[in-house]
Amino acid sequence: MSLVAHKPLLATVKGERQGRPPIWVMRQAGRYLPEYRETRKQAGGFLDLCYTPELAAEVTLQPLRRFDLDAAILFSDILVIPDALGQPVRFEVGEGPILDPLGAKDIARLDLARAQEHLQPVLETLKRVRAALPQEKTLIGFCGSPWTVATYMLAGRGSPDQWVARRFALEHPEAFDRLLDVLVEASIDYLAAQFAAGADVVQLFESWALNLDDAAFARQVIEPNRRIVEGLRRRVPDAPVIGFPRGAAGNLRRYAHETGVNALGLDYSTPLDYPASVLDAGLPVQGNLDPLRLLVGGAAMEGRVAEIIAAFADRPHIFNLGHGIVPDTPISHMERLVELVKKT
Ligand code: CP3
């Protein structure tokens, strides 16, 4: 008998199809849970919660106490990287993240050594979660992909069209490439440290893979993600990676085939027949229920869950939403979703 516990979600990322799809949910720890809102109050600010291992580990584990999920995802945020590199991030209620926008001259001051030091509490959170997590549950680490993180660093906030960062990439090509280099390096260090602290798999969140022509997509999305996967595997051989290029649409196939990720996260706009017609047979996929179907529940959700499971039945599939759960989602709908997937 193998001494290593079977982790269905990790096995799926590595390409083994399971009898039923394992399930986790993006943003599964968060505001739709009263116990999250309670812990969040104790922490003070949102980043204080991310940097307090005791509380961050508690919040990471909360959804697994309620729902029979197959994985815990580290509770942190993609914007701890700029914060750690020396560009402070604030979260203001109702506003989302705010940073002082980075100029071309500021890039040389980003400090990789400081970043590794600053992120120690996040690694401590992973160690605590690992120690508390049942063996068969997969522990997911993550970071934001360089382009997505750069959009916040350059604009100082989120924006629907990433105009500021897209323009900067064209007007200041050298400074922009240097920024991507710094983010690639910081991400490799950070993800390698996450594996050392107990992560089984990591997800690259490329939340703003939309609005790019194919030349920009190759430069800003494919190349940095490919370099992270390659650099990470030099430190952690065979490191399992899920890539989630949200909105990649017609560029999705190239992302899947050129970055080296093990598994591809699909957003909810990806047609269910797309993987079969376009992606390599056997490539694991993750997704892709519209979070609004989970919010509304009932008929809006149930039929679609069955369709998703049927559509991906011939390849390794991890059930998930096609983007993060929204705060007003009723807990009973999450319970029902997990039940539906588990009885497949
Ligand atoms: O999935 C999880 O449960 C793990 C934790 C996690 C959070 N953010 C916690 C969070 C993860 C993996 C993220 C990723 C993240 N953060 C992304 C990529 C995924 C995506 O949603 O596209 C992005 C773009 C961010 C940046 C970010 N963080 C924004 C734009 C916001 C504000 C919007 C919002 O939902 O409030 C956050 C805040 C944030 N990150 C919250 C949580 C639980 C809410 C903060 C609160 O408690 O008030």
Cβ atoms within 10 Å of 238's Cβ, excluding its own: 8
Q: Is the CB of 324 under 6 A from ligand 1?
A: yes
Q: What is the mean pLDDT of residues 96-119?
A: 97
C-alpha 185/C-alpha 243 separation (Å) is 17
Instruction: Say whether pLDDT at 92 is over 90.
Output: no
Instruction: Say whether pLDDT at 167 is over 60.
Output: yes
Q: What is the mean pLDDT of residues 3-8?
A: 83
Q: Is the CB of 247 under 6 A from ligand 1?
A: no
Complete DSSP assignment for 177-213: HHHHHHHHHHHHHHHHHHHHTT-SEEEEEETT--S--
Residue 31 is among the residues annotated as catalytic for this protein: yes
227 annotated ligand-binding residue: no
Q: Is the CB of 30 under 6 A from ligand 1?
A: yes
3-class SS of residue 140: strand
* CATH for the 8-342 domain, from 3.20.20.210, 3.40.30.10, 3.30.70.141, 3.40.50.1000: 3.20.20.210
Question: If you take atom 24 of ligand 1, which residue's CA is the nearest one?
Answer: 207
Question: If you take atom 22 of ligand 1, which residue's CA is the nearest one?
Answer: 207
Helix runs in the chain, H state only: 8-13, 34-43, 46-50, 53-66, 80-85, 112-118, 120-132, 146-155, 163-171, 173-196, 214-217, 223-235, 252-258, 274-278, 291-296, 299-311, 331-342
Looking at 3-7, 48-52, 136-140, 332-336, which range is the least confident one?
3-7
Could you tell me what percent of the chain has a pLDDT over 70? 99
Q: Is the CB of 320 under 6 A from ligand 1?
A: no
Say which of 32, 36, 51, 152 is annotated catalytic: 152
Residue 323 CA to ligand 1 centre (angstroms): 11
Q: Is the CB of 291 under 6 A from ligand 1?
A: no
Angstrom CA distances, 100 to 89, 131, 173, stand at 8, 37, 21
Question: What secondary structure letter does DSSP report for 110?
Answer: -
Q: Which residue has the tokens 């934001």?
A: 144
Q: Is the CB of 48 under 6 A from ligand 1?
A: no
Question: If you take atom 38 of ligand 1, which residue's CA is the nearest one?
Answer: 96
Instruction: Say whether pLDDT at 1 is over 60.
Output: no
Asked if ipTM goes beyond 0.90, one says: yes
Strands 89-92 and 96-99: antiparallel
157 annotated ligand-binding residue: no
Residue 332 tokens, joined: 């009973």
Residue 75 CA to ligand 1 centre (angstroms): 9
Instruction: Say whether pLDDT at 251 is over 80.
Output: yes
**Where do the domains of the chain lie?**
8-342
Residue 44 CA to ligand 1 centre (angstroms): 16
Instruction: Say whether pLDDT at 262 is over 80.
Output: yes
Q: 243: pLDDT confidence band, cut at 50, 70 and 90?
A: very high
Question: If you take atom 5 of ligand 1, which residue's CA is the nearest one?
Answer: 75
Ligand 1 pocket test, pick from 24, 26, 27, 47 with the greatest ligand atom count within 8 Å of Cβ, gives 27
Residue 1 CA to ligand 1 centre (angstroms): 40
Over residues 99-108, the pLDDT tens digits come to 999 999 999 9
Q: What is the pLDDT of residue 3?
A: 59
Complete DSSP assignment for 216-250: HHIIIIIHHHHHHHHHHHHHSTT--EEEEETT-GG
Q: Is the CB of 255 under 6 A from ligand 1?
A: no
Q: What is the mean pLDDT of residues 219-232?
A: 98
Q: What is the mean pLDDT of residues 295-321?
A: 97
